[in-house]
Amino acid sequence: MHPDVQEILLTEEQIASRVAELGVQISQDYAGEEVILVSVLNGAMPFTCDLMRKLDGDIVLDSIVASSYGSGTVSSGEVKIKKDMKQDVAGRHVLLVDDVFDTGLTMSLLVNLIKERNAKSVKSCVFLNKPARRTVDYHPDYIGYDIPDAFVIGYGLDYNERYRNLPYVGVIRPEAVK
Ligand code: IMP
Ligand code: MG
């Protein structure tokens, strides 16, 4: 275990088994349809890579860079699009993929943005969900795991851009938060 991790919340095995379940469910729901998978970078990178390989439909991969966080652990309450996606979504199904649904601001803004571009449908898939932190009236369509209100790292999630590479999800030690 990394010395800055206080407790492992989800092991590699738990992550893999839940991602496989989500893959089955999403594949069934979109059977016979093309889907644009939009990875919200950088956090959703590992989850997107794992999830897409469990999808057996007609998948087009795209990505977007949006951020609601500054460099710390508290949301700034504002979302910026730093790099837009490449695909034209008009008349097509879009599935947004993110690492964690925290206040929900990022995802709800992205869903509205894609809707305004006249997608055929817009759904969201988040690996982690913090129900206690919700500030928006929007609920993700697919959720990997509900977790308590703690700042977590690993499996794409960072603190100041570090720890994204950890293969598990863990709670960061308070001493490591500067
Ligand atoms: P929201 O807009 O508040 O839902 O924030 C979503 C974004 O905040 C995620 O995509 C993450 O980048 C970041 N975030 C929220 N909670 C955590 C956490 O516990 N660890 C690391 N990043 C987090
Ligand atoms: Mg993120």
pLDDT digits (tens, 9 = 90+) for 91-136: 999 999 999 999 998 999 999 999 999 999 999 999 999 999 888 8
Return the domain boundaries, the chain: 12-149
Please give the mean pLDDT across all residues of the chain: 93
**Which of 38, 40, 69 to probe ligand 1 with, by most ligand atoms within 8 A of CB?**
69
Protein residues whose CB sits closer than 6 Å to any atom of ligand 1? 43, 68-69, 75, 98-106, 151-152, 157-158
Q: Atom 17 of ligand 1 has which residue's CA nearest to it? A: 151
Task: Classify residue 36 by burial, with Cβ atoms within 10 Å: 0-12, 13-18, 19+.
Answer: buried
∠ CA 35-41-46 to the nearest 5 degrees? 80
CATH topology of domain 12-149: Rossmann fold (3.40.50)
The phi, psi pair for 52, rounded to 5°, reads: -60, -30
